[in-house]
Structure 1
Amino acid sequence: MAATQRRGRRIMMTDEERDAYLTERRTCRVASVGADGRPHVGALWFVWDGTSIWLYSLTRSLRWSHLLRDPRVAVIVDDGDEYGELRGVELRGEAVPVGEAPRTGEPCEELATAESLFPAKYFGIDTLPHDGRHAWLRLTPDTVVSWDFRKLSDAG
């Protein structure tokens, strides 16, 4: 990751913790910017390959049209109910469409990892069934910020 987290080092996740967290969590929130400059945030399923977050989005969504016009994006994956349980990861950068849109299953080597991780994670199957309505966006973040407030109680 290009940018290093400066503040909150005490609660920052290690690379290994971050990778495990992003692999296990199921839903992210994606923030995009409309032509009028107003933000839009929506929930989405994703997979993390250790370098990039892969977003499987409807191509007829507001998010998709926003990101085609302006690829700047922020993605957050977080959880926790009580203050001392809060943890999460924010990833920022530019979302890039990969493969055909909508995705019909044409061979695309760049999608091999995402399309093996995604169906296993969400459906318990090996092959992603293409519905002709979704397509892939890849975010290789230039900024990553993480936090795990559970570390505050461990610090004593």
Structure 2
Amino acid sequence: MGNKREQIKMTPDEIQEFLASQFKVQIATVDPDGAPHLVTMFYTLLDGRIAFTTYARSQKVVNLRRNPVMTCLVEDGLEYGELRGVKLKGKGRIIEDPAVRTKVGRVVGSRMAGLPVPELGAPIDPVIAEGIEKALAKRVVVVMEPDHVTSWDHRKF
């Protein structure tokens, strides 16, 4: 029957489905003094990986340029028996390509504004697109490149 840890572990397909169904991620990078810098961000999946936009001069980007180590946590559930989550440890890859920034930014920007969320790369209303582009001008995309993934789904008990 295996131990509890093995019983609640998600399959790779379950992990992808879970990550695709959520939109907030907790991001931890390493500050210059070694302390964790922890923030919550809206995200989407880019080629199956967590991706988000942030200001190019934000502390998390400054940290990643110095040390690309990053941990992400996506979690859900209110009661113990409903808890599920995925923790990814790896490296944050910074992308400055405007096309990628637009692709990710339209999804994340729509979520942040409470607007209908387009599919990644789908066309959106030109007025909304223009507003999002202005908001993205000073931003970059960060993509989580995981080396290690841990998951749990207490609903499997």
Normalised by the size of structure 2, how large is the TM-score? Answer: 0.76
Superposed structure 1 runs of 4+ greater than 6 Å apart = none
Report what 2:121 is aligned to: none
Please say if residues 52 and 108 of structure 2, whose CA atoms lie closer than 8 Å, have aligned partners that are also in contact: no
More helix by share: 2
Matched, 1:85 2:82: yes
Report what 1:96 is aligned to: 93
| Between 28-37 and 126-135, the greater mean CA deviation after superposition | 126-135
Distance 2:39 2:16 in 1: 22
Report what 1:25 is aligned to: 22
RMSD value over aligned CA atoms? 2.5
Query: Is the partner of 1:43 in helix, strand or coil?
Result: strand
Q: Percent identity?
A: 27
Distance 2:76 2:104 in 1: 23
Please say if residues 51 and 140 of structure 1, whose CA atoms lie closer than 8 Å, have aligned partners that are also in contact: no
Report what 2:156 is aligned to: 151
Distance 1:134 1:7 in 2: 42
**CA pair 37-149 structure 1, distance change in 2 beyond 3 A:** same
Please say if residues 19 and 48 of structure 1, whose CA atoms lie closer than 8 Å, have aligned partners that are also in contact: no
Matched, 1:62 2:67: no
Q: How many residues align?
A: 140
Matched, 1:45 2:42: yes
Please say if residues 33 and 72 of structure 1, whose CA atoms lie closer than 8 Å, have aligned partners that are also in contact: yes
Normalised by the size of structure 1, how large is the TM-score? Answer: 0.77
